[in-house]
Amino acid sequence: MAFDKAWKKACSSSTPTVLLIPKNKRYLLKPVNFRGPCKSKVSFTIMGTLEASRNQEDWDGMISRHWILFSNIDNLTVRGGGTINGNGKIWWRGSCKMDASTVSRKISDALSFNSCKNLRVENLKVMDSPRMHISLEKCTGVDASHLTITAPTESPNTDGIHITHSKNVKIANSFIGTGDDCISIVSGSKNVMATNIVCGPGHGISIGSLGAHNSEAQVSNVTVDRARFIGTTNGVRIKTWQV
């Protein structure tokens, strides 16, 4: 696969590298994992459009719930002014929130980061994810800004930015309007700041859900500053499971 080869070359470079998706170019993409560690800084610059394949056979056999996954990378930047289109409509009808009898285990997050340090995500449009639009898991030192994240009001589980077991995360100057939480912050996360966010439609900014199956859960030092909520079902809330 061309993207795999390009990534391996960029990641193995001993000098800072830019991997460019050109403007006015559109690429259909199957699930992909861009793995680290990398030898130097990498900028994944999206000026064109990355679009998820509509062919459900392309998703057969996928192990994780991720479409575009960056894992175990330090000093990564993802930017460029382009678009990431998850083509979620074909998957939403398989959500348990839409029809419990047709649950699909292949429903994936659009753009995911796992175990990344000193991460920048900026100046991107992410739209119509099958599930969560941007997912941060076990990440440290994240600066996300100037993002536009959109999905229809009725789209299920389409959180804008989902944060789990991550710390030192800043989200700023972004518009998020989806069918679920604009930002969701779950267990193991701390030092999260959201500033100058326009949220709506959606469910607002949420801490949780926490404490499923009688488990312990911790989220600490969360700041929301200069947020505007337009047509949301909630503002800022904490969600917990009932014992």
203 is catalytic: yes
User: What phi-psi label fits residue 23: left (phi over 0), alpha (psi between -120 and 50 degrees) or beta?
Assistant: beta
139 Cβ partners below 8 Å, 6+ apart? 113, 114, 115, 116, 117, 119, 166, 169
CB under 8 Å to 164, separation ≥6 — which residues? 135, 136, 137, 138, 186, 187, 188, 189
Residue of 217, 160, 165, 218 lying closest to 194 (CA atoms): 160
Looking at 66, 133, 162, 203, which residue is catalytic? 203
Cβ pair 185, 218 in contact under 8 A: no
Q: How would you classify the pairing of strands 66-71 and 109-114? A: parallel
Catalytic machinery residues: 203
